[in-house]
């Protein structure tokens, strides 16, 4: 069932520009893909290790501003600028992680929120570098590849889709690797993981840096895709929005960040015509989702699959397969 889901999702994603080549629709979906990449980064630190990083949007902004400034001011091509932007987010994540990961629980969340606010203030007030509240405009798109121009809607859409596929593949590989199982062990019981010989501080730091890498990747792609940038992309509200997408989709799952982002972004666009009543409709919808899907959409679908799937030969076999289904 999981394989069928991903095959169907791939076919739909590839076929959208061919069946419905509307510029507005492609723009909305592509921006949702970019947001989903950042949500996957949040899922690594929260869903895999159980740590809530409330400064996640700040690392998104570091990647975005890194690409924008290197392209505009230093004349770098997009791809080296994107790599440098991701590296900048990871380096910052390394230094922030060394300090913040000495704390636990709410203290970690508060510390990272403070870091996010500090970075947002710097981006707003460093007028000569970041443009302040005006931001940066006319950011060049990625360079052409042969006859393919990324200034056009359809090639830009497929480029964002390819980077999203890369992000999903990285998260799936990590989740199913020994490193990913170590992340989950720390989330389940940090003291027990330490007692079994896991280097908890180092493992947490690796998870934090991977999370910031994906946030920086999303930010860099966003800057080149949209073509302009402002400090509002680093605010706490952006982090909370991404956290909402993750909770609705399913924390700790592979498909959850994508499902939650696409669903809520789609609902937001659908309610644009009733802007004044948007949150009146949006709020009860979220309550219903949380009540009926307490583990997110992906978690709910996994439970449904286990209920309707043919019973295995032994209870132990079904138990062994349960974690695999929950990770879908």
Region 262-282 average pLDDT: 74
Model pTM score:
0.88
**Confidence band, pLDDT 50/70/90 cuts, at residue 235:** confident
Task: Supply the pLDDT for residue 296.
Answer: 80
Q: State the Cα–Cα distance between residues 105 and 93, nearest whole angstrom.
A: 18
The yes-or-no verdict on residue 315 having pLDDT over 70 is: no
Distance CA 181, CA 173 (A): 11
- Higher pLDDT residue, 39 or 270? 39
Query: Both ends of the chain: CA-CA distance in Å?
Result: 9
- Which pLDDT does position 8 carry in this prediction? 86
Kindly provide the residue ranges of all beta strands, DSSP E only, lying in the chain, ordered along the sequence: none
Q: What's the pLDDT score for residue 232?
A: 81
User: In Å, what is the CA distance from 178 to each residue of 3, 153, 162, 189?
Assistant: 22, 40, 26, 16
**Is the separation of the CB atoms in 167 and 185 below 8 Å?**
no
Q: Which of 152-156, 173-177, 241-245, 282-286 has the lowest mean pLDDT?
A: 282-286
Angle between helical axes of 153-175 and 2-19 (0-180°, round to 10) = 170
Structure tokens at 21: 């080549």
Q: Where are the domains of the chain?
A: 2-326
Higher model confidence: residue 311 or residue 199? 199
Structure confidence at residue 21 (pLDDT): 80
| pLDDT, position 276 | 64
Q: Tell which wins on pLDDT, 289 or 245.
A: 245
Q: Which residues pair with 229 in a beta bridge?
A: 136
Taking 80 as the threshold, does the pLDDT of residue 5 lie above it?
no
Position 26 scores a pLDDT of: 92
The 3-state DSSP class for residue 148 equals: strand
């Amino acid at each position: 069932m999981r394989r069928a889901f991903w095959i169907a999702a791939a076919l739909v994603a590839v076929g959208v520009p061919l069946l419905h080549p509307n510029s507005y629709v492609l723009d909305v979906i592509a921006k949702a893909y970019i947001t989903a990449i950042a949500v996957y980064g949040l899922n690594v630190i929260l869903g895999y290790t159980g740590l809530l990083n409330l400064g996640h949007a700040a690392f998104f902004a570091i990647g975005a501003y890194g690409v924008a400034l290197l392209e505009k001011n230093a004349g770098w091509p997009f791809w080296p600028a994107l790599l440098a932007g991701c590296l900048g987010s990871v380096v910052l994540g390394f230094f922030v992680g060394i300090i913040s990961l000495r704390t636990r629980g709410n203290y970690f969340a508060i510390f990272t929120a403070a870091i996010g606010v500090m970075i947002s203030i710097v981006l707003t007030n460093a007028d000569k570098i970041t443009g302040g509240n005006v931001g940066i405009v006319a950011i060049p798109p990625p360079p052409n590849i042969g006859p393919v121009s990324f200034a056009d809607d359809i090639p830009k859409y497929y480029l964002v889709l390819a980077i999203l596929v890369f992000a999903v593949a990285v998260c799936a590989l990590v989740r199913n690797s020994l490193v990913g199982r170590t992340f989950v062990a720390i989330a389940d019981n940090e003291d027990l993981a330490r007692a079994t010989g896991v280097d908890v501080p180092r493992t947490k730091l690796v998870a934090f840096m991977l999370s910031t890498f994906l946030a920086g990747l999303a930010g860099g792609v966003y800057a080149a895709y949209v073509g302009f940038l402002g400090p509002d992309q680093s605010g706490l509200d952006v982090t909370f929005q991404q956290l909402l997408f993750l909770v609705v989709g399913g924390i700790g799952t592979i498909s959850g960040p994508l499902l939650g982002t696409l669903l809520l972004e789609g609902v937001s666009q659908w309610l644009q015509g009733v802007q004044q009543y948007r949150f009146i409709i949006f709020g009860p919808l979220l309550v219903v989702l949380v009540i009926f899907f307490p583990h997110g959409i992906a978690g709910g679908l996994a439970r449904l699959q286990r209920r309707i799937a043919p019973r295995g030969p032994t209870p132990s076999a079904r138990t062994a397969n349960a974690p695999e289904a929950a990770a879908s």
